Structure 1
Amino acid sequence: MSARPGRLDAARLSGVISPLRRGLLRAARTAEQLPEIPDAQVEVLRALPVGAVRSPAEIAEELSLSRPTVSNLLRTMEAADLIVREPDPVDRRRVAVRASTRAATLLRRFDEASERLLAAAMSSLPEADRTALAAALPSLERLRDEIQAHARAGRVRLQAGEQR
């Protein structure tokens, strides 16, 4: 059963977003000859922008992951030179985590390649499609924020058909 014209179809949107994201990821990795970094590790790196220092507990809370999961991720990421763990300068009992220079470089290269690929793909679309995409960006940003808020609140398991 398809959605009525003009009505938002969550299944269709989901069916577009996931392959779009995977395709962009694959194309950017290929274009820049980047190593494959698991999504969970990329999420940790995104939680550690250049200059940011966080504790493992703060990372776990921000990403809604368990502390043991984050600990395992950090151990693997440290071995791959993606993060640096050091004693916290204020409280030496705590650990401070930051992205490594290598990780910052890889993320920058990935982001730049993604932007170039998107720009090239969008330039081949008809003007009406580019205008529609530009108009949809604020709504997509709000949708992203809403999904993140639901995840943080633990309300991810919405009832089938539940509407706000």
Structure 2
Amino acid sequence: MNSENIKTNEDDTIELDSEFAETLHELWHAILRAARARRQLPSLPESQLDTLRRLAKNENMTPSQLASELDLSRSAISDVIQKLSSAKLIQREPSPSDGRSVVLTVTDKAKKILDEFQQMRIDVVRDALYDLPSRDARRLRSDISSLTRLLDRINKFADFAEFQKSHSHMK
């Protein structure tokens, strides 16, 4: 095999990987857009939805923990927290371990909104899969374990990068 063929194969792989990443990104936005269109769901910005989802999974996070988890600056997370608090979607409470700091929790109102978004996302995906040729729908459903493994791997990369970043000052 000559070097020109190898270069072409590498270029094809890079192009396919780029297309795959872009398709996943667009798929997420399309699902969210379709879910919002189906029902009168609040038009919360993605940063606010991400914040609510993260807090629903990990209650009692401090603002700095949340900023780190979401890779947002202190000022950005402060703005998101203020907006969610004003909308009565999160609560600030004194930290049980440190009276000087606060922890954040989602309200019942936020939990209801997150449940509605989740159900609508499921409905959108189910309906879209139903509209596909059955072979494509079966293939996509059977490949979910591959996508889950990909997600785990990407999360490991992100965790490792965060670890390196947080320990770089120790050098």
TM-score (norm 2): 0.78
User: Which of 110, 116, 124 is matched with 1:103 structurally?
Assistant: 110
Counterpart mapping for 1:27-106 below 5 A: 27-49=34-56, 52-106=59-113
Say whether 1:150 aligns with 2:157: yes
1:68 partner amino acid: S
For the residue of structure 1 that corresponds to 2:55, the secondary structure is: coil
1:85 partner amino acid: R
Say whether 1:117 aligns with 2:124: yes
Q: Which residue of 1 aligns with 2:3?
A: none
* Cα distance in 2 for residues equivalent to 1:87 and 1:114: 34
Deviation at 1:82, TM superposition (A): 1.8
Deviation at 1:69, TM superposition (A): 2.4
Say whether 1:19 aligns with 2:14: no
Higher helix share: 2
Contiguous gaps of at least 5 residues in structure 1: 156-164
1:140 partner amino acid: L
Aligned residues: 153
TM-score (norm 1): 0.81
For the residue of structure 2 that corresponds to 1:47, the secondary structure is: helix
Contiguous gaps of at least 5 residues in structure 2: 1-7, 163-171
For the residue of structure 1 that corresponds to 2:161, the secondary structure is: coil
Over 3 Å counting, the alpha-carbon distance change for 1:122 and 1:141 in structure 2 is same
1:3 partner amino acid: D
* Cα distance in 2 for residues equivalent to 1:90 and 1:15: 43
Greater C-alpha Rg: 2
* Cα distance in 1 for residues equivalent to 2:154 and 2:22: 16
Cα deviation per residue 1:32-83 (whole Å; 9 max; x = unaligned)?
Answer: 2111111111111111116822111221222222333222221121112221
* Cα distance in 2 for residues equivalent to 1:90 and 1:147: 33
Q: Which residue of 2 aligns with 1:161?
A: none
* Cα distance in 2 for residues equivalent to 1:33 and 1:24: 15
Q: Which residue of 1 aligns with 2:168?
A: none
